[in-house]
Structure 1
Amino acid sequence: MMNPVFLRRSQKIILPPAGTLTKRLPADRSVLAALLKNIESLGYTFSAQLTLAAESLNQEQMVTLYETILPVLQKILGAHVQHRPMYPNFPDEVMEASEVELYLNAVLHYTHGLLPNTEVKKRPLSLDHKKLKVIDLGTEQQFTQMMRSLAGANGSLSDEDKADLATALTYIPDIDDILPDEIPYKENAAWIASVLLTQKRASTERLSRYFRTATDVLRLAAGLSGLDTSLYWAKRIPQLTQPFQNIYNMNQGMNVQVTPDQQTAPVYHFRKFKRAERRFLLGLLEKTSQPLEDMVLYRELWKRLGEILHPGEMRNQYPHAFEAFTRLRREKHIPTFRSEVEQGLYHRDAAVIARLASRPGELARRLDLLLRSQPQAAEEILNSFNSVISQIAVPLLLQLMAHFKHRNEHRDYRVFFPKGNMGKAVAIYNHLPSLNTAWSAEIVQQIEKELRTRFADRPALGRVYIDPVLAKVPVPFSQRSASQSLRPLPRGSRVAMPSGETVRLFCWWTNLRTGEKNQRRVDVDLSLVLMDEDWNPVETLAFYNLKESYGVHSGDITDAGKEGASEFIDLHIQAVREATKARYAMMQVACFTGQAFAELPECFAGFMMRTYSQTGKIYDPRTVETRFDLTVEAQQAVPLALDLEKREMIWMDAVLKNRSFAITAEQNMSGMQLLGHAFADLHKTTLIELFTLHGESRGTLVDSIEEADTVFAMEEGITPYHTDVILSEYL
């Protein structure tokens, strides 16, 4: 179970130790040769060490290795399915067809569901030559350390990260090999604990150390109920709509208004807990300090949890928890630290500065607002910040550093990424007033000084090389809603496109497999929007405009059937630059039949770089640069844009809001433009800034890879794709 995860994440495989190999028939070397030949067609090969080790396997073990590696590589490259475009001899067939032919084919297709009756021509062999990726020999210790890094990540995990970590938590014999002493990111701690408790692989005593606040306990209750421990959904909970009925309710017979949306509200509810689980949750709550203050933040959610935990039944064992639930129900207005701070900020009360300093994280988050609202107290504010800076978490300091570095630069938009599986990027006009540049500079200087001090206490890195291209890759603070991808990157990353003349976009999907037959049809549309320097639309390649002199669409398939369907778009970079004023090309994938991508059994997309678009297979996995699953709770996704001038991919992993039946790229052009502007104005802490702080504090920076002991680069050493290492060891 470990090898598929290890291969996908690190391009490594664990083989049985030589001492455990049985004396059955040695493997026929032709099996190994066949395996290497097959994976070569996917763009991979074995290292010399792995090849030699594999030769020692017996026949049964070799077959197991074959059956493990090939499906994993096919899946991550999108080669595990058949790709059948509407025009099977794409792209030539579409480019050579007249407008009359294309129109008549469209009429027959949309009216009668008929596809072009074309004989598939034999295509010339591929002339594209790509450097093979090397699969190496790994160890169980390396795999376990990778999983331990994931568990100790100081940032949210993606769904793929969680699935991989769940595999490790299930199958690694000793969970103490995976669990760190501290899990700094609390939603991760709650999720990990819920997995282990559900599988009965850890005691409550072992896990109690990870829960210190009431919100930590609420996250755990959510995780045990199969709910997202980030609690992004909590604000969707409507107010209580009926009196509580159990005999331990603290205010029986409470009158509550019934809201009109009671029946249509999304269902988010806690499951019924066993008595031992209730004792555990109430016991954790009992040990927290000032639980009521945190409980007020999620008042409605705590009311529902209280109905299940029955705190009145155990009031003698957990009196503080019982009192918190009682006050939460009976008292309408409960004074808290946050409410006092809000009042102080509103009235511009100087006393709020000292109040915030008692909670360093809150002071850090309100620092800009404090300086704007009370400029006369700037010296006191900055002194307070400097006095507590050592107590502020590294991720927050890094985000503050980026904010104040770029504070007075001209930006049209401010961009935020809300919690949840929406892939949503919220862009608002930037109305922030200017701030004294000296204040911003002092804050940045103090943060850098503090981070260098902290990092200097970590193990030495020796001579450090940092690839300059990492200046275009943000630090992966949050991977919560990141799409599962061949090469996962943080939103806003800019990565150089490889050599090649033609970009080939692709998407594949399948119909629903359950429900009424007449409601299983799924129609996914692939579009490419060309935009100029200022993100104004130039032209669109889509099902309603199949070809231009510089690009071509493979045709609109409106029913994926049982076997699935594909759409492709080819864009010739030099030709489009010569023929138009386009600088950017934005990819849009939309579900025309109205289902959210999260509802589909499978849907993925990506792009290849092709030098000779007419040669080789239409879908050549060796040329796939990125492949990602579309699983967001939305009907329209904008995964990426291409900067055709700089030959860079801009990773967006965003969605567009639906507007009735306006589902095509052309009908959502304003949303596409807004996304383009938003990502152009995005300023986040980059990996080169983070690694430079580490390199200067823990070693000596050098100018070449050859002389380095520690390498930070796109393809060597610690890369942006090692999110587990970055989140656990560098944040």
Structure 2
Amino acid sequence: MDRLAAMLLRHGRVAPSLLAREPAPELPGGTPEWLRGRALNHAPAPADGLLALESDLFELGFVLSAPLRRRLAAMDAGELPAVGRALLGGLLARLGGAVDHVPLFRGFPRSVPADTFELYVRRVFSVLLQEPEQPCVLCGRVATVHPVAPCAHLVCRACWDGADYSACPICHRRLDPADPFLRPASEPPADARPPVDPRRRTLLSLCEDPMEEAGAIVRAVLTRQSPPRPEDRDEVLAALDAHWPAAPSWLPEAIPVRETRAAVLAVALRHDPAGFAELLDRHAGTATDVLRVLYAAMGGDPGLRTRPPRRTTLPRPLRRTLLAALDRLSLPLLVEDLERHRAAWVHMAEVLHPHEHHRRFPTAALAFAALRGTPLGTGTPFARAMLDHAAGHPGVLAFDGVRLRPVTFARRIESALRAGDLPAALALLRTRPGELARRLAHLARLADGPDAAAALAAAVTEAAPRVSPAVLVAALGRLRTAPGGARLFFPRGGAAKAMSVLDERPPIPAATVAAVSGAIEAEMLRRAAALPPLRLALLDEGLTDLLAPAAERSASAALVRIPRGSVQPIPGGERIRLFLHWADSPDERVDLDLSVAVFDERWRFVGLCDYTNLTLGPRAAVHSGDLTSAPEPLGSSEFVDLDVRAVRRLGGRYVLPTVLSYNDVPFERLARGFAGFMETPPGQFGEDGGDGEAFDARAVRQRFDLAGPAKVLLPLVADLWSRTMRWTDVNLGVSGEIHDIDRHARSLARLASAMEDVYGLGDHVTLWELARWHAAARAEEVLIRHRDGTTTLHRRTPGEPPAAFAARLTPLPSPAPAPTGDTPLPDFAALVTADVPLAPGAQVYALYPALLDPTTTTLLDAADLLTPLTPATQLTPA
């Protein structure tokens, strides 16, 4: 499947290339038995083949749109199998079913030993005492001990069951599939056909113009105000790279997120060096923008978190283009930007050679002379030219007789804040609206008294129209969250290593919070009111559980895109199965571990289930066995079954599923890696002691990729008392070479409890608030759907301002229920599950889009609720 078709399929669009007649591809290794021999083989008639394909798609959670079904119905019996294989293969990959999932114990969970320590002793005896051509040290049998390949451990065929083990029973590394030790496993029971979660059903529509659809997807991602998820960014860059002759027409006029912008410019530089200067002039407004482009072009991180793997020599025309972009900037901003990333610019100056062009680009040469501390007391023509140029910019650079020293804005603002001088700080920050918004909580603590609070609110009112909505939303959440719990920090690294400390800051006076937050909310409502009006908006009370998107640059690619910190129900069944799959790096072995730690209501340790303890309690949690290698093509899979009632009987409340790289290999080196969880319906997955398929794509409720430099991932925290999970998607900062749950349990508990404090007690902006701003400012009527299924209707009164209307839109039921007669269909909706009729062309955000047709509605991502609130005069990108 080509990249464009794969991108469109992820968005529910089936490209014509998937419907072209071609030889049927090989099935994915993990295609389950219930799919084989149906739509994938030649049916006796096209109609029968189409019905079989629809059935298979429906069981995976996908439904054909009418135009797509008509296109498939027109195919003959020779074409349909190829289409079925392509469609099902691509969709299985999204769910994690395109690979074989073979746990260590193939009879999992029935055959997992209850005593992990006894199993460990048996393995140690075998590896230390077993000799070739000698009786077995465990059972004494003769001629039953043989080496296995490729690890060469001596394994007794009588003590270790080759029909149950899928790897070496001594070291747990994968074996050669042809090794005689491995015997066919017993046949699985009859298929139980678990139902797909109705919320996850997705409509597949026919894409008539793939290039136009791809351009729309690219523009939607590039115009977002918050950093996109890595999966979205990578998808866009791959599409631009593969279709560059058409790609420039996909680019929007402005790309707000600077690191995304730099990555796009790096693609342009590869494909069109001649047109690069024009794009750079349009999109690069600061020296840091130029630095990001340099990093991206050299194969580094445009977010400037890590240096490029190599420093590339630049052609002379490109050097002149980059220096010209720097020279056009004002000297104060250029000097400050270079100082902000001093080490990186000193490194890059060696490839730019700015002093060679000091006559042509004097401002750039002067800024680099100050950055590098170039001696200018020598009297050379270069030194005289630099000093003369510096004399025209007093207050920016100071000459000490030898070198120029910068006088930066950051030093002045830090001095004012340390002195507690709010008027001086505001005077400086009024010229930097984005900086003012980012420091708002600090400034509010300096606002002592009504006059100071009023001055701060006035400064915010003045600055807010020039600040991006993402920055304002983050500032509003920090301002409203009272201290006393924990503070979380997510350093800007690819691993998003979170750290927590006790929040000991003084509280912000309530009057100050009200005044400043009111100024921000008024600005957001003003922006929303400038958007096209709406007849009827539909809001879901469940959106109060979902936070506004933030820090998504490190978010995992997931089947269900839940914003970090949000809460959602866990599967309703009493048994949940966690899964992990990975394949080794091409040049090294990777040992990942799926582990679970259980804590009580006060975060006291209850127990764990991992490779050292395969069963917790009376099989409250059961591990499928530790695999220590994952060679291609099979890779390795591990599972943990959780019995919710049994874990609670042990005193457990919080469950922390964790993925750890035991031998310290970052996830980004994996050939592939993903994890997730399934709901285990009755009679499935070995219920009541029987064997079953370890993995079933139909039961998957969440799947997420393992990526980035992380080595320990905590995807979620499950609360068994409330039967909810908080989506954390964070990595624990670790050191050393051996990582397991026992070593990191306390750190994980501190991190998880801090997440509960910060997101559970904090007053962060939610998707409910974002949707309410849209509805209150734009709609004549607003329909609120409550958690119990009831609805209430709110009508705007004549002349009612948006702020007053927004105050009436609460998630609490009101005495005015929605009328039961004919009402217009909503033309804007923000929902958890899109299970209601909507007006043609409606704009819809839904965590679970269900059967929404992307050809008749405009599907919004969470970040797309922010993007329209961007002011035309914005100066501060995300």
Same-fold call, TM cutoff 0.5: yes
Specify the alignment match of 1:2 in structure 2: 4
Instruction: Indicate whether 1:137 and 2:206 are aligned.
Output: yes
Distance apart, 1:401 and its partner CA: 1.4
Instruction: Pick closer, same or farther for the CA change 1:64–1:127 going to 2, 3 Å.
Output: closer
Report 1:427-506 matches (<5 A): 427-506=500-579
Structure with greater helix share of residues: 1
Larger Rg: 2
Whole-Å separation in 2 of the counterparts to 1:496 and 1:689:
21
Distance 1:231 1:100, change over 3 A: closer
Q: Aligned pair 1:652/2:732, yes or no?
A: no
Alignment of 1:192 onto 2:192:
no
CA deviation profile, 1:80-112 (whole Å, cap 9, x unmatched)? 1111111111112227x5678745665578774
Contact 2:61/2:698 (8 A) holds in 1: yes
Q: For residue 252 of structure 2, give the secondary structure of its aligned residue in structure 1.
A: coil
Paired residue secondary structure (1:75): helix
Q: 1:461/1:15 Cα in 2 relative to 1: closer, same or farther (>3 Å)?
A: farther
Q: Pairwise CA RMSD of aligned residues?
A: 2.9
In the alignment, does 2:485 pair up with 1:412?
yes
Given that residues 103 and 636 in structure 2 are in contact (C-alpha distance below 8 angstroms), is that contact kept between their aligned partners in structure 1? yes
CA displacement at 1:32 relative to structure 2 = 4.0
Shift of residue 333 of structure 1? 3.4
Unaligned ranges ≥5, structure 1: 235-266, 515-519
2:832 paired residue among 704, 714, 718:
714
C-alpha contact (below 8 Å) 1:662/1:668 kept by paired residues: no
Structure 2 Cα separation of the partners of residues 52 and 343 of structure 1 = 70
Whether the 8 Å contact between 1:105 and 1:116 is mirrored in structure 2 is no
State the alpha-carbon separation in 1 of the partners of residues 772 and 579 from structure 2.
37
Post-superposition CA distance 1:551-594 (Å, at most 9, x none): 211112223344211111111112322x1222211111112222
Secondary structure in 2 matching 1:702: strand
Counterpart of 2:773, as a letter, is L
Q: Which AA in structure 1 matches 2:733?
A: K
In the TM superposition, what are the counterparts of 1:494-533 in structure 2 within 5 Å? 494-514=567-587, 520-533=588-601
Once the two structures are superposed, the pairs formed by residues 37-186 of structure 1 within 5 Å of their partners are: 37-57=55-75, 62=80, 65-94=83-112, 102=119, 107=124, 112=153, 116-117=161-162, 118=164, 119-130=185-196, 131=198, 132-140=201-209, 141-169=212-240, 170-171=242-243, 174-186=246-258
Task: Tell me if the contact between 1:156 and 1:478 (Cα under 8 Å) persists in the aligned partners.
Answer: yes
Post-superposition offset of 1:438: 0.6
Structure-2 change in CA distance of 1:272 and 1:489 (3 Å): farther
Tell me, yes or no, if structure 1 residue 288 matches structure 2 residue 360: no
Secondary structure of the equivalent of 2:829?
strand
Whole-angstrom CA distance in 1 between matches of 2:276 and 2:867: 24
* Cα pair 1:13 1:136 within 8 Å, conserved: yes
Residues 98-127 of structure 1: CA deviation (Å, up to 9, x unaligned): 678745665578774866433434224225
The answer to whether the Cα contact below 8 Å between 1:212 and 1:287 also exists between their aligned partners in 2 is no
Stretch deviating more after TM superposition (43-52 or 643-652): 43-52
Identity of aligned residues (%): 30
Offset at residue 702 of structure 1 (A): 0.7
Q: Which residue does the alignment assign to 1:385?
A: 460
Q: 1:685 aligns with which of 754, 757, 765?
A: 765
Whole-angstrom CA distance in 2 between matches of 1:645 and 1:651: 16
- Offset at 1:268? 4.8
Q: What is the Cα deviation at residue 659 of structure 1? A: 4.5
Cα-to-partner distance string for 1:358-386 (whole Å, 9 max, x where unaligned): 21222222233233245254433333222
Q: How far 1:207 moved relative to its partner? A: 4.2
Q: Which residue of 1 aligns with 2:679?
A: 609
Tell me how far apart the structure 2 counterparts of residues 159 and 275 of structure 1 sit (CA, whole Å): 33
| Contact kept in structure 2, 1:583 and 1:643, CA below 8 Å | yes
TM superposition shift of 1:457: 0.6
2:341 aligned partner, one-letter code: Y
AA of the residue aligned to 2:9: L
Mapping for residues 270-289 of structure 1, pairs under 5 Å: 270-289=311-330
Q: Which residue is equivalent to 1:249?
A: none
- 1:470 and 1:687 in contact (8 A); partners too: yes
Q: Deviations over 1:461-496 (max 9, x none)?
A: 331112222212222233211112222322212122
Q: CA deviation at 1:295?
A: 0.9
What SS does the corresponding residue of 1:714 show, helix, strand or coil? Answer: strand
Deviation at 1:436, TM superposition (A): 0.9
| Residue 600 of structure 1, CA deviation | 2.0
2:417 to 319, 334, 345: 345
CA deviation after TM superposition for structure 1 residue 348, in Å: 2.9
Q: Greater CA deviation, 375-384 or 465-474?
A: 375-384
Q: Match of 1:315, as an amino acid? A: H
Give the match's secondary structure for 2:192: coil
TM-score by length of 1: 0.87
Matched residue count: 685
Q: For the residues of structure 2 that align with 1:105 and 1:506, how far apart are their CA atoms?
A: 27
Which is worse superposed, 486-495 or 223-232?
486-495
Q: 1:11 to 1:218 in 2, by over 3 A?
A: same
Distance (whole Å) between structure 1 residues aligned to residue 100 and residue 582 of structure 2 = 11
> 1:273: Cα distance to partner?
1.3
Match of 2:16 in 1: 15
Q: How far apart are residue 56 of structure 1 and its match? A: 3.1
Range 65-74 or range 467-476, more displaced? 65-74
Q: CA deviation at 1:55?
A: 2.2
1:659, 1:34 → 2: CA distance? 52
**Residue 703 in 1 paired to residue 771 in 2?**
no
1:323 to 363, 366, 373: 366
Deviates more, 1:461-470 or 1:107-116: 107-116
Q: Distance in 2 between matches of 1:601 and 1:7?
A: 22
Letter of the aligned partner of 1:272 in structure 2? T
The one-letter amino acid of 1:283's match is: A
Distance 1:30 1:320, change over 3 A: farther
Q: How does 1:223-242 map to 2 (within 5 A)?
A: 223-233=296-306
Structure-1 residue corresponding to 2:874: none
Tell me the equivalent position of 1:545. Answer: 613
- Asked if 2 retains the 8 angstrom alpha-carbon contact of 1:546 and 1:554, the reply is yes
For 1:301, give the aligned amino acid: A
Once residues 115 and 316 of structure 2 are traced to their aligned partners in structure 1, the CA distance between those partners, rounded to angstroms, is 73
Q: Is contact 1:473–1:720 with CA below 8 Å preserved after alignment?
A: no
User: 2:278 aligns to what SS in structure 1?
Assistant: helix
Quote the Cα distance in structure 2 between the aligned partners of 1:181 and 1:417.
Answer: 31
**How much has 1:41 moved relative to structure 2?**
4.8
From 542, 565, 586, the counterpart of 2:656: 586
CA–CA distance in 2 between the matches of 1:535 and 1:153?
38
- Structure 1 counterpart SS, 2:371: helix
CA contact (8 A) 1:386 1:446 kept: yes
AA in 2 matched with 1:368? A
Contact 2:440 2:475 in 1 (8 A): no
| Contact persistence 2:116–2:612 (CA under 8 A) | no
Q: Return 579-588 or 368-377, whichever deviates more.
A: 368-377
Q: Which runs of 5+ in 2 are unaligned?
A: 23-42, 129-152, 165-184, 374-402, 786-790, 792-822, 835-843, 849-860, 871-878
Residue-by-residue CA offset, 1:420-474 (whole Å, 9 max, x unaligned): 2113112121011112111011111111111100111112233111222221222
Closer/same/farther in 2, CA of residues 63 and 282 from structure 1, 3 Å limit: farther
- Aligned amino acid, residue 702 of structure 1: L
Q: Alpha carbons of 1:622 and 1:297: their partners in 2 closer, same or farther (altered >3 Å)?
A: same
- Structure 2-normalised TM-score? 0.73
| SS of match in other structure, 1:92 | coil
Supply the distance in 1 between the matched residues of 2:89 and 2:18 (Cα, whole angstroms): 24
Q: 1:326 to 1:570 in 2, by over 3 A?
A: same
